Amino acid sequence: MPPRALEPSGVALVDKPSGPSSFAVVAQVRRLTGARTGHAGTLDPFATGLLLLLSGRSTKLTPRLVGLDKRYVAEIDLTARTETGDPEGEIVERHEPPAQDELEDRLESLRGEVALPIPAASAVKIGGERAYKLARRGVEVEMPVRRSTVHSLEIVAYARERVTLDLLVSSGTYVRSLASELGGHCMSLRRTEVGPFSVEDAVAPEAFTVERLLPEATVLEQV
């Protein structure tokens, strides 16, 4: 089968583990199907959860899926910021965690329309080069601000130094930026929903089979 075949086609719901990049998961599925394979939004290597992968002819659905809202569960360390906003970066600031009422005020300010700087350790291009590559070389740049919508932002668990949040956000929202606004960094991040699709219906990359592909008609009925 040609490496960029148009069949099999459909959309795969894959539960990405922590560690590999989203592109590594895409490549894993591509090797299995032999078809061209795309995605409707990546996850950072440390993050887990739902990836929508598009196979064969269904890659044309990318514009319909990439802009869907996304739901996450994030555990945030409120005592330190890191240079990347996640556990992989160097700690750049330590402090006492905010009191609960202050935390509630910060959360309230992050609901609705927000404008937050894009993390330096991101794939956004600055002057034609990926921001994370500049960051790795120690090049300091002023990161652009991205506007997004936080539809809901609720506390799941709170233990003074750490808080677990359930949040529903528009596409393109950096949860790491939200964590930084709270004075901390993401310790873990799990994407549980993309639009109407749930991670509960996804399978681990190694468990994926062609039979798991959702037909285009089924996907379009839901979006």
Residue-level length of the chain:
223
| Domain 70-194 is found in CATH 3.30.2350.10 | yes
Q: Where in the chain is the domain with CATH 3.30.2350.10?
A: 10-67+196-222, 70-194
- Return per-residue pLDDT of the chain as tens, 223 residues: 445 799 999 999 999 999 999 999 999 999 999 999 999 999 988 999 999 999 999 999 999 999 999 999 999 999 999 988 889 888 999 999 999 999 999 999 999 999 987 766 565 666 666 656 655 666 666 666 789 999 999 999 999 999 999 999 999 899 999 999 999 999 999 999 999 999 999 999 999 999 999 999 999 999 9
Q: State yes or no: is 15 an active-site residue.
A: no
Taking CA 45 as the corner, what is the angle to CA 13 and CA 112, rounded to the nearest 5 degrees? Answer: 75
- pLDDT of amino acid 2: 46
Q: According to CATH, what is the number of the domain 10-67+196-222? A: 3.30.2350.10
What tens digit of pLDDT does each residue of 22-45 get? 999 999 999 999 999 999 999 988
Sign of the alpha-carbon dihedral angle for 16, 188, 222, 58? negative
**121/55 Cα distance (integer angstroms):** 28
Element (H, E) at 107: helix 100-109
Q: Tell me what pLDDT residue 140 has.
A: 66
Which helix (H) or strand (E) element contains residue 53? strand 48-55
From 44, 69, 86, 201, the catalytic residue: 44
Rounded to an integer, what distance in angstroms lies between the CA atom of residue 202 and that of residue 11?
A: 11
